[in-house]
């Protein structure tokens, strides 16, 4: 693939593919955001259908994990231009563990908080803190790997 000149900067295939990936990732995020917006009336529909609160919670939480966590991570594993690198593989493994675990910790924390006893509140705070730490670790790992891969691609 030939190098392309954009605004005085010569861009090679990696930079081109990285920009293409970023554009497609933003488009995916916009589509998922619109989908979540379209699903806002779902709990009201479940109430009309007469589903129990536990079933509603399970359905909504499952949709949230699938649409908000698992599908974007799967998409990234197929489309990231650096998907073959060891750094990206490590980052994806961390994300596959930390993001669903963080979501589940947040869900357990929310449910514990709703019980209302003093012990349940402390349990909720512990699970909430665990969720925040897991998600922070995943995010910081992701950003470090992205910076490292970008700087390595610019040096080549």
Task: Return d(Cα 70, Cα 60) in angstroms, integer.
Answer: 14
In a domain, 3, yes or no: no
> 4-54: per-residue pLDDT in tens?
444 444 445 555 687 888 899 999 999 999 998 999 999 899 999 999 988
> 78-118: per-residue pLDDT in tens?
988 888 888 889 999 999 999 999 999 999 998 888 888 88
Indicate whether 56 and 90 sit together in one domain: no
Note the pTM of the prediction, 2 decimals.
0.76
56-61 long-range Cβ contacts below 8 angstroms, 24+ apart: 61/103, 61/107
| Short-list 44, 86, 42, 90, CA closest to 67 | 42
Strand, coil or helix: what is 7?
Answer: coil
Last residue within a domain, chosen from 51, 81, 111: 81
Last residue within a domain, chosen from 81, 113, 140: 81
- Mean pLDDT score across all residues of the chain: 85
């Amino acid at each position: 693939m030939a190098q392309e000149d954009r605004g005085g900067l010569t861009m090679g295939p990696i930079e081109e593919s990285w920009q293409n990936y970023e554009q497609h990732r933003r488009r995916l995020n916009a589509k998922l955001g619109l989908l979540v917006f379209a699903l806002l009336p779902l709990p009201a529909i479940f109430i009309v259908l007469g589903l129990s609160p536990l079933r509603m919670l399970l359905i909504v939480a499952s949709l949230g994990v699938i649409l908000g966590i698992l599908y974007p991570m799967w998409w990234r594993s197929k489309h990231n231009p650096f998907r073959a690198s060891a750094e990206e593989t490590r980052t994806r493994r961390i994300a596959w563990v930390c993001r669903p675990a963080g979501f589940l910790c947040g869900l357990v924390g929310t449910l514990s908080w709703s019980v209302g006893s003093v012990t349940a509140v402390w349990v909720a705070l512990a699970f909430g803190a665990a969720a925040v730490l897991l998600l922070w670790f995943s995010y910081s790992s992701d950003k470090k790997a992205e910076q490292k891969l970008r700087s390595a691609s610019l040096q080549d």
